[in-house]
Amino acid sequence: MEQYKIDHKAEDEMIEAAFQEVLAGYLASNHRKKVEIITRAYKFAKEAHKGVRRRSGEPYILHPIAVAKIASQEIGLGSTSICAALLHDVVEDTDYTVEDLEQHFGKKIAQIVGGLTKISGGIFGNKASVQAENFRKLLLTMSEDIRVVLIKMADRLHNMRTLGSMTPNKQYKIAGETLYIYAPLAHRLGLFAIKTELEDLSFKYEHPAAYNHIKELIKESEAHRTEIYRKFSAPIKQKLEEIGLKYEAKARMKSVYSIWNKMEKKKVPFEEIYDIYAMRIIFDCDDPDKEKITCWNIYSIITDLYKLHPDRTRDWISVPKANGYQALHITVMGPDGNWIEVQIRSRRMDEIAEKGFAAHWKYKIGDGDEESELNVWLRTIKDILDNPEPSAIDFLDTLKLNLFASEIVVFTPKGELLTLPNNSTVLDVAFELHSQLGLHCIAGKVNHKLVPLSHKLKSGDQVEVLTSQSQKPRPEWVNFLATAKGKNRLRVALRKDQQPIKEQGKEIFTNFLKKHNLVGTNEVITKILGFLHIANREDLYLALGNNEVSLDDNLAKNITKQNSTSILTKLFRRKPSSNDKKEGTTTEIKIDTKETYILQHNENGANFKIADCCCPIPGDDVLGFIDENNEVIVHALDCPRAMMLKAGYGSRIVSTEWEVSTQKFLATIHIEGLDRFGILQELIQLISSTLNIDIRKLNIEAKNFVFSCQLSVLVKDTQVVTDLCNKVKKINGVKQTSRIY
Ligand code: MN
């Protein structure tokens, strides 16, 4: 039958086109151009896999081509790796040997393919010992040449992308293995994009229902999210363009897998995950020296527009993460009242974040040490491999721990094993054991030799900590601490010592504010932090107390200049906290005056107060005035007091709208007419029985056949009042009715 016949010509064209894509990507990279050997490897592999098909039915060669493409374009590897990727299944699946490859392509490529063949069996065997052995093999080959593992990653990624054509049990095995070992390994190697994709793909196969459900929820909320992002990002983009920055801004979605993880861990529904996306700003910067200042400039622009979350500024520029990640993260309140994270990075930082070590290599000039950083890590892996634990499972755990969280293993004099990040020192060990040991540490003994506390440790070192009660923690220790724990414990201790310095700093700061007639609102502080490139208030006081930074008149000018234009019209919609009340003098507005304020009732009452000078009701044209307590007082537009407020406190005026509700409001009507017997009864009859309106107050005066009455009623809106007046006018003898207020 026609449809089952394979069109060999079309298929060949497809294969050729796929390969040309690999070549084109390679030629566009900044590697040396070795097209000849790549083309040769492609032809060799194509010939070797000839006639073989994948489960999906497509020609086998498309798989190595796809792996080569990932290795080149997503990991950033060069010609040797592209060749090895093209050839990676040749030894495993055909009659060719590693020696054959060496003859054709040289020693390096053959070695890498050999390494890949060794670990092709998969990590998960039936027994723990097999597992451990395979894992050991993987790490061994990795320490021989990191490219083995990077190509393995590319191979795994392509297999995951095409997992759909596998049988379900295979899918399950491969997905589990991917989540267990490859995704964390990708993370450790800094391949964040690949890590995320591997996690999502594994999750999709392991929990298809949950995966589809979350996908669906993301889709449903997309329009809303896009709108919020548009609203949020528009003013930022405008400002960035005004300063002439070349940049790219995007909404960065949390991955399906990490959304699910958060829902599971924190037991929250999808709707309550507010950090579902972050805004990412990637700017072009030719001068590496200007990256940091540009990040902080962007910080200032954003915090001018939006309220900063005081505790969530992360400066990974001054102190990059262990895997090389650099960026400035801030969290601000978005227009819908939810916190939005903004990640600010240069193009260079972004590539490192996405491609990990491969990108590091790209930005390092010279061949000499391009893999050195990685080599140190790999050597430590080798050290552990040379001294495995007796139990296979323990060994596996130790390795896994070490692989993903830390880099060296040292021993205490008692033989206790400590896993520490690379570059850890004697002091790290001391803090690791006990904070008191750390704080009083004076030196160490490494392999029984006396060393200073800043001595860097190697895997396998035996470390003894020496202390003295007279020793005191010093701030400069932070420079040679590698563990988060050590840094934290030191920081806590120093904070106690630093209290007087901070007090001093605070005083300097208070005087500065006073001198320049500034109020220490969050906005002003956010701005000052931005100017000084300091992440939080505590650090500001400390820096001031230590005389590391100074506040000059220029700074004050800058603050006040922007202050008047933007601070009072800031966006923030949170309830006043007790903290705010303590700050007393501040009367910052916590209501977004740019948006229409909806006047509404809930179980706690109303979110507004009716001004008692004009008593407006729904249907009246009104405005809101935000008072000292951040309460919205509703005035009629034509109320004389409102006019005065408009003139004097423009920034405290907010436009308002009544929410449609069943709530009733008090309105007062004046009625005049000719007095006659029974008119009062007629009036009350009409209002309470016929119109079913609740009368609250009635004042009647009659004099010389003329009566006047003031009537207060509870009504829904002005329409009811108008109706009422019209009907009252029809009562015989009534001459005039009007609403007083
Ligand atoms: Mn493969």
Q: Please say if 93 is a catalytic residue.
A: yes
Query: In angstroms, what is the span from residue 490 Cα to ligand 1's centroid?
Result: 48
The token pair that represents 568 in the structure block: 């009072």
What confidence score (pLDDT) does residue 362 get? 47
Q: How confident is the model at residue 178 (pLDDT cuts 50, 70, 90)?
A: confident
Query: In angstroms, what is the span from residue 653 Cα to ligand 1's centroid?
Result: 66
Residue 383, Cβ density class (10 Å: 0-12 exposed, 13-18 middle, ≥19 buried): middle
- Asked if 113 and 90 touch (Cβ cutoff 8 Å), the reply is yes
In the DSSP assignment, the letter for residue 456 is B
Query: In angstroms, what is the span from residue 324 Cα to ligand 1's centroid?
Result: 29
- The string of pLDDT tens digits covering residues 698-721 is 777 777 777 888 888 888 888 888
Q: How confident is the model at residue 403 (pLDDT cuts 50, 70, 90)?
A: very low
What confidence score (pLDDT) does residue 105 get? 94
Query: In angstroms, what is the span from residue 394 Cα to ligand 1's centroid?
Result: 30
Query: In angstroms, what is the span from residue 190 Cα to ligand 1's centroid?
Result: 22
Query: In angstroms, what is the span from residue 130 Cα to ligand 1's centroid?
Result: 21
In the DSSP assignment, the letter for residue 711 is E
Query: In angstroms, what is the span from residue 146 Cα to ligand 1's centroid?
Result: 17
- The string of pLDDT tens digits covering residues 484-531 is 778 878 877 887 777 888 889 999 999 988 888 888 887 788 888 888
Q: H/E element holding 626?
A: strand 622-626
The token pair that represents 718 in the structure block: 């002005």
- Asked if 600 and 659 touch (Cβ cutoff 8 Å), the reply is yes
Query: In angstroms, what is the span from residue 280 Cα to ligand 1's centroid?
Result: 34
**Calpha distance 352→568 (Å, rounded):** 39
**Calpha distance 193→183 (Å, rounded):** 10
What confidence score (pLDDT) does residue 365 get? 36
What confidence score (pLDDT) does residue 324 get? 65
Alpha helices (H) along 162-255: 168-177, 183-188, 192-206, 208-220, 222-242
Query: In angstroms, what is the span from residue 161 Cα to ligand 1's centroid?
Result: 12
What confidence score (pLDDT) does residue 4 get? 59
DSSP line for 337-358: S-EEEEEEEEHHHHHHHHHTHH
DSSP line for 26-79: HHHSSS---HHHHHHHHHHHHHHTTT-B-TTSSBTTHHHHHHHHIIIIIS---H
- Asked if 458 and 409 touch (Cβ cutoff 8 Å), the reply is no
The per-type count for the chain, helices as H runs and strands as E runs, is 30, 22
In the DSSP assignment, the letter for residue 164 is G
What confidence score (pLDDT) does residue 570 get? 32
Provide the residue type at 278 as one letter: A
Which strands make up the sheet holding 609-610, listed edge to edge? Answer: 609-610, 632-636, 622-626, 653-654
Query: In angstroms, what is the span from residue 64 Cα to ligand 1's centroid?
Result: 6
Query: In angstroms, what is the span from residue 128 Cα to ligand 1's centroid?
Result: 24
Query: In angstroms, what is the span from residue 383 Cα to ligand 1's centroid?
Result: 29
Is a pLDDT exceeding 80 seen at residue 185? no
Q: In whole angstroms, how far apart are CA 518 and each of 304, 417, 513, 528, 591?
A: 16, 55, 5, 12, 21
Q: Please say if 672 is a catalytic residue.
A: no
Which residues have a Cβ under 8 Å from the Cβ of 549 and sit 6 or more positions away? 532, 534, 540, 543
**Calpha distance 520→522 (Å, rounded):** 7
Which residues have a Cβ under 8 Å from the Cβ of 104 and sit 6 or more positions away? 40, 44
Query: In angstroms, what is the span from residue 155 Cα to ligand 1's centroid?
Result: 5
In the DSSP assignment, the letter for residue 444 is E
Query: In angstroms, what is the span from residue 637 Cα to ligand 1's centroid?
Result: 74
What confidence score (pLDDT) does residue 109 get? 92
Q: In whole angstroms, how far apart are CA 668 and each of 419, 581, 617, 660, 706?
A: 79, 37, 11, 21, 20
- Asked if 205 and 172 touch (Cβ cutoff 8 Å), the reply is yes
The least confident of 580-594, 653-667, 722-736 is 580-594
- Asked if 371 and 205 touch (Cβ cutoff 8 Å), the reply is no
> Which residue among the candidates 11, 13, 92, 394 is catalytic per the annotation?
92
End-to-end CA distance of the chain: 88
Of 390 and 653, the one with more pLDDT: 653
Question: What's the half-sphere exposure (Cβ side, CA atoms, 13 Å) at 281?
Answer: 28
Q: Average pLDDT in the 121-137 region?
A: 55
Query: In angstroms, what is the span from residue 104 Cα to ligand 1's centroid?
Result: 20
- Asked if 436 and 406 touch (Cβ cutoff 8 Å), the reply is no
Residue showing tokens 């080569």: 68
Query: In angstroms, what is the span from residue 160 Cα to ligand 1's centroid?
Result: 11
DSSP line for 548-613: SS---HHHHHHHHHHHHHHGGG-B---PPPHHHHHTTT-----S-TTSPEEE-EETTEESSEE-TT
What confidence score (pLDDT) does residue 329 get? 92
The size of the chain, in residues, is: 741
- The string of pLDDT tens digits covering residues 564-617 is 333 333 332 233 333 333 333 345 667 777 778 888 887 777 888 888 777 888
> Which residue among the candidates 21, 93, 102, 275 is catalytic per the annotation?
93
Phi, psi of 604 (to 5 degrees): -90, 5
The token pair that represents 251 in the structure block: 């909404």
Q: H/E element holding 382?
A: helix 372-386
**Calpha distance 731→557 (Å, rounded):** 68
Query: In angstroms, what is the span from residue 690 Cα to ligand 1's centroid?
Result: 85
Q: Are strands 622-626 and 449-452 parallel, antiparallel or unpaired?
A: unpaired
The token pair that represents 27 in the structure block: 């030629």
Q: Average pLDDT in the 355-363 region?
A: 54
**Calpha distance 601→556 (Å, rounded):** 42
